[in-house]
Amino acid sequence: MKKFYCLVILFACIVVSVIGQVGINTIGSQPDPSAILEARSTEKGFLPPRMTFAEMNAISNPASGLMVYCTNCGTNGSGRMAVFMNGMWFILKTNCLAPGSPVTGVHIPSSDQIIWNWYAVAGATGYKWNTVNDYNTATDMFAATTKTETGLSCNTSYSRYVWANSACGFSTAAILAQTTSACLSCGAPITINHVAGATAPVTKTVSYGTVTNIPGETSKCWITSNLGADHQATSVDDATEPSAGWYWQFNRKQGFKHDGTTRTPATTWITVITENSDWISTNDPCAIELGGGWRIPTSAEWNNVRNTGNWTNWNGPWNSGLKMHAAGSLFANDGSLQLRDYWGNYWSSTQSDTPWGWFLYFDSGWGSMPESVKANGATLRCVRNQ
């Protein structure tokens, strides 16, 4: 037998059934048989908890079906009802659902960094990325679908998390997983996946040889071909693009490929660079593309190698363990290819003055360490401390 109780408080009646139903009304009626709780009134409404989008997303382990009124989830910050279902918040508005979870892309590892990639999600206006599964402390990536993480340990597996979001809420986390490349032992090759973008002009995979014990800088590790080259040159006057690699203007991270006719990317060429700065680390293509402590050699390092090896012409660089050749340069005035097979121009990371930088130069009859205008496009060799 059911029993009911009516308690009148401020003109409201709470009707409680012993089997667990609760009714709230002013007339003492029992709840509908299908409801655990029924509120009935012709004058008052039901007011759920009111929260901002951030407060709603801060709820720990929300139950499926949990409902709140989100005060700023609608267009231009207006309010919307929200319900938590299938691991995500849904905003109760016509055609307005939280975006789906991102799909992981192809990640690009090196020995000390990973470039994390994921695909764009329909309806998403932004993404968040984190090292732990916590949306609230995640880094806002805005519309970017890639994240470069540095300072990692070699030959180590990592898992990361990314969410898609919009005004309708955010998705469940996509788990990104990747292992960094093997730890470097100088003398062993390193394989790099170059991806066309702000530094590499084209996408390709290159295996670079490495060498140490170079006279003048015996404690350093060097790559044995130019940055961006498919392979080591076959002769000191090798005029082919695959041996030459890419060209850079001083303190600029964008590299350029030149096949003899076309420069890639064909962006507007910078004809004058005047700034009081050495090549900064965040623009260093060796650091960006190779990771693992690689960098452009300083002018002092090039001078040490050149003087110790007595590099008075191109025979010294070519016969050294570095196998450096005459890869030419790009003309400062227009970015055109100059004298590939005649001279070698290799940047250092050191400026000599605001419009000038130091570079290693050699041809068949001369070797020196002169100045060049910073708008000149020269090749790069990369070095790292062991």
In a domain, 102, yes or no: no
In a domain, 270, yes or no: yes
Domain boundary among 125, 152, 179: 179
- Cis status of the peptide bond prior to 265, with omega within 30 of 0: yes
312 within domain boundaries: yes
Q: Which two tokens stand for residue 220?
A: 């350093």
Model confidence pLDDT, tens digit, residues 210-233: 999 999 999 999 999 999 999 999
> How many structural domains are present in the chain?
4
Asked if 18 and 55 sit in the same domain, the reply is no
We report the CATH number of the domain holding residue 173 as 2.60.40.10
120 is a domain residue: yes
Residues 267 and 367 in one domain: yes
Whether residue 349 sits in one domain with residue 291: yes
Residues 175 and 194 in one domain: no
List the structure tokens of 297.
């050699």
**Average pLDDT value for residue range 341-369:** 98
Q: Are residues 322 and 251 in the same domain?
A: yes
Q: Is residue 97 part of a domain?
A: no
pTM value surpassing 0.75: no
Query: Do 272 and 362 have their domain in common?
Result: yes
What digits encode the pLDDT tens for the residues 128-186? 999 999 999 999 999 999 999 988 998 999 999 999 999 878 899 999 999 998 888 89
Residues 135 and 173 in one domain: yes
**Does residue 184 lie in a domain region?**
no
Instruction: Say which residues have a Cβ less than 8 Å from residue 319's Cβ, sequence separation at least 6.
Output: none
Average pLDDT value over all residues in the chain: 90
Per-residue pLDDT of 365-377, as tens digits, reads: 999 999 999 999 9
287 and 239 both lie in a single domain: yes
Examine the pLDDT at 76 and tell me if it is beyond 70.
no
318 class by beta-carbon count within 10 Å (0-12 exposed, 13-18 middle, 19+ buried): buried
Using the 8-state DSSP alphabet, how is residue 246 labeled?
-
Strand, helix or coil at 77? helix
Does residue 321 share a domain with residue 228?
A: yes
Specify the amino acid at residue 190: I
Question: Does residue 185 form part of some domain?
Answer: no
Tell me the pLDDT tens digit for each residue of 104-132.
999 988 888 898 999 999 989 999 999 99
SS3 state at 85: strand
Residues 225 and 328 placed together within one structural domain of the fold: yes
Do the domain assignments include residue 98?
no
Least confident of 91-95, 155-159, 269-273: 91-95
pLDDT at 16: 58
Kindly compute the dihedral angle of the four CA atoms of residues 82, 87, 88, 92, in this order, to the nearest 10 degrees.
Answer: -30
pLDDT exceeds 70 at position 17: no
Of the three residues 153, 179, 205, the one that is the final residue of a domain is: 179
What single letter denotes the amino acid at residue 376? Answer: N
Q: How many alpha carbons lie under 13 Å from residue 304 in its C-beta half-sphere?
A: 14
Same-domain pairing of 229 and 323: yes
Task: Specify whether 309 is located in the same domain as 378.
Answer: yes
Domain of residue 35 covers 4-39
d(CA 286, CA 308): 24
